[in-house]
């Protein structure tokens, strides 16, 4: 199977927001980070994939089968979790397991218990008693217990402490290491993607600006630290700002030589720098105090 998930020209209109021709593909072995500002369309896209939002046009297929025509069959093979688990908060993990196993024909109770032990999840704790990190681990345990081939997670590391985040990212890398499963997760914590993502899909105002290899995305840009304050080069920036009497900004990789010839420092950007400066270039906001 060449793809686990494929979106083609998915559109969804609300009175004040539109998804516009959203298209991307996820293949086995990939960890795809889904990034964009709050309100850019990440959660709407994820809900559309799972038919929790009825999109207006386009196609979504998982495992080469249309999600509308094969919804129940496909969902048996997908592990899905929104950013906050709030169902049955007074139920224990043990009692929730007994409910959950009725929905998945491939539910493996021994696997679930094994993963809970690995994650140090107390089966007799109520859901409302779990920390944010433990709730994420519980969601992953459920997904692994029915042998999900594709995990779709909305902001799984949001609100976690650095140690818990690092543990979750290591778990993600372990899940895909055999190249038979994949993970799609939305996040605004781009440093998490620096550590674990192989691919990036970047959405801005409902439209996909980039989808593909994370490294190719990074290689498309360069980060400039200009302590000469060369005003003649300002027009070459995608966006820039003045920092401590020098200029910092983002340029496309084909502009690097212009700056190097002037003895200006060039660095490889990280994902946060790319996203921040791309958003600055697309949102020329001004404020009057």
Q: What secondary structure, in 3-state letters, does the chain show?
A: CCCCEEEEEEEEEECCEEEEEEEEEECCCCEEEEECCCCCCHHHHHHHHCCCCCCCEEEEEECCEECCCCHHHHHCCEEEECCCCCCCCCCEHHHHHHHHCCCCCCCCHHHHHHHHHHCCCCCCCEHHHCCHHHHHHHHHHHHHHCCCCEEEEECCCCCCCHHHHHHHHHHHHHHHCCCCCEEEEECCCHHHHHHHCCEEEEEECCEEEEEEEHHHHHHCEEEEEECCCCHHHHHHCCEEEEECCEEEEEEEHHHHHHHHCCCCEEECCCHHHHHHHHHHHHCCCCCCC
Query: What confidence category does residue 157 fall into, taking pLDDT thresholds of 50, 70 and 90?
Result: confident
Q: Indicate whether 289 pLDDT > 60.
A: no
* Same domain as 61, residue 201: yes
Q: What is the pTM of this model?
A: 0.88
Q: Indicate whether 286 pLDDT > 70.
A: no
Query: Which residue, of 212, 234, 265, is where some domain finishes?
Result: 212
- Measured on CA atoms in the order 18, 23, 29, 33, is the torsion positive or negative? negative
* Same domain as 262, residue 121: no
Domain assignment present for residue 238? The answer is: yes
- From 63-67, 141-145, 203-207, 258-262, the region with the lowest mean pLDDT: 141-145
- Predicted pLDDT of residue 131: 83
- From 80-84, 176-180, 226-230, 231-235, the region with the lowest mean pLDDT: 80-84
Query: For residue 259, what are the domain limits?
Result: 220-282
* Same domain as 10, residue 125: yes
* Same domain as 153, residue 118: yes
- Predicted pLDDT of residue 285: 44
Domain assignment present for residue 288? The answer is: no
**Percentage of the residues of the chain whose pLDDT score is greater than 70:** 95
CATH number for the domain that contains residue 123: 3.40.50.300
Domain assignment present for residue 49? The answer is: yes
Q: Indicate whether 87 pLDDT > 80.
A: no
* Count of domains for the chain: 2
Check if the beta carbon of residue 44 is closer than 8 Å to that of residue 58. Answer: no
Radius of gyration of the chain (CA): 21
Average pLDDT over residues 174-191: 93
Query: Which residue, of 212, 235, 269, is where some domain finishes?
Result: 212
Name which of 139, 141, 92, 85 is nearest 117 in CA terms.
141
- Predicted pLDDT of residue 84: 61
Domain assignment present for residue 289? The answer is: no
- Predicted pLDDT of residue 70: 97
Q: Indicate whether 283 pLDDT > 60.
A: no
Q: Indicate whether 1 pLDDT > 80.
A: no
* Same domain as 74, residue 199: yes
Average pLDDT over residues 137-142: 85
- Predicted pLDDT of residue 83: 61
Average pLDDT over residues 219-225: 96
Query: Which residue, of 212, 236, 271, is where some domain finishes?
Result: 212
């Amino acid at each position: 199977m060449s793809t686990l998930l494929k979106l083609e020209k998915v559109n969804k209109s609300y009175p004040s927001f539109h998804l516009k021709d959203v298209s991307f593909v996820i293949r086995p072995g990939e960890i795809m980070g889904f990034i964009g500002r709050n309100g850019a369309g990440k959660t709407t896209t994820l809900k559309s994939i799972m038919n929790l939002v009825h999109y207006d046009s386009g196609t979504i297929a998982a495992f080469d089968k249309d999600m509308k025509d094969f919804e129940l069959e496909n969902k048996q093979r997908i592990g899905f979790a929104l950013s906050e688990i709030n169902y049955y908060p007074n139920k224990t993990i043990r009692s929730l397991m007994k409910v959950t196993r009725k929905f998945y024909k491939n539910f493996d109770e021994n696997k679930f218990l094994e993963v809970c032990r690995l994650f140090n999840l107390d089966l007799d704790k109520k859901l409302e008693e779990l920390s944010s990190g433990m709730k994420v681990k519980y969601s992953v345990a459920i997904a692994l217990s029915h042998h999900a081939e594709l995990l779709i997670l909305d902001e799984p590391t949001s609100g976690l402490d650095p140690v818990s985040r690092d543990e979750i990212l290591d778990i993600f890398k372990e899940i895909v290491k055999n190249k038979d499963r994949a993970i799609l997760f939305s996040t605004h914590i781009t440093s998490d993607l620096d550590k674990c993502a192989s691919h990036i899909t970047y959405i801005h105002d409902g439209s996909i600006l980039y989808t593909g290899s994370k490294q190719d995305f990074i290689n498309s840009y360069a980060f400039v630290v200009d302590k000469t304050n060369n005003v003649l080069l300002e027009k070459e920036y995608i966006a820039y700002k003045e920092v401590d009497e020098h200029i910092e900004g983002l340029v496309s990789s084909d502009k690097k030589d212009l700056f190097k010839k002037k003895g200006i420092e060039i660095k490889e950007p990280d994902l946060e720098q790319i996203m921040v400066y791309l958003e600055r270039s697309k949102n020329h906001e001004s404020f009057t105090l």
